[in-house]
Structure 1
Amino acid sequence: MERTWAFGIYVYTLVVVWYALHGHKPEIVTQRRLSAPWYPENTDPSFADMLTTLRHAIIAARFMSSRPAQPTNTEIRQVQHAWALAAA
């Protein structure tokens, strides 16, 4: 039980920081105001709004058809060579 609240605070913080850096879109709050009668005067997104946005981003990233290009063998060798020089 002692570690549960700490983990919860950690996850909460990660979600809020992600939302502030990458997920904030003012239209989410506007849409939420229109769809929820108890939400008309709220000007800031709730934690539930942040979680919903994060879930949508995770689902979209998982099912996107485009994948980043894989490095070529030459690029891999160049990185390995740089590592070897740095280690020496």
Structure 2
Amino acid sequence: MAIVKNVEFQGNKVISTNNGDISINQGTGELLIRKNGVILTRINSQGFIYSETDGTRRILIGSHPKDGHIIEAISDPGIDIIQELSR
């Protein structure tokens, strides 16, 4: 038997831990995972972006920033994948 639970709320919902939080924003349709104020993971309608602990966006699975086609891309250490693909 499958158990399904729908949670309905308006606006932004934040679940906090000692040094991070998970934020679900209904208005923007995003899920953000932060640690020490740095966004590590962003999931939205454009896809999934994973960042290093310094905030450098390294992994993109989703829409290409220029033309929107679906890609999987990983940048070299220290290189922002969104800036690299937007050139």
- TM interval, shorter chain, is under 0.3
**Which structure shows the higher helix fraction?**
1
Whose Rg is larger? 1
TM-score (norm 1): 0.23
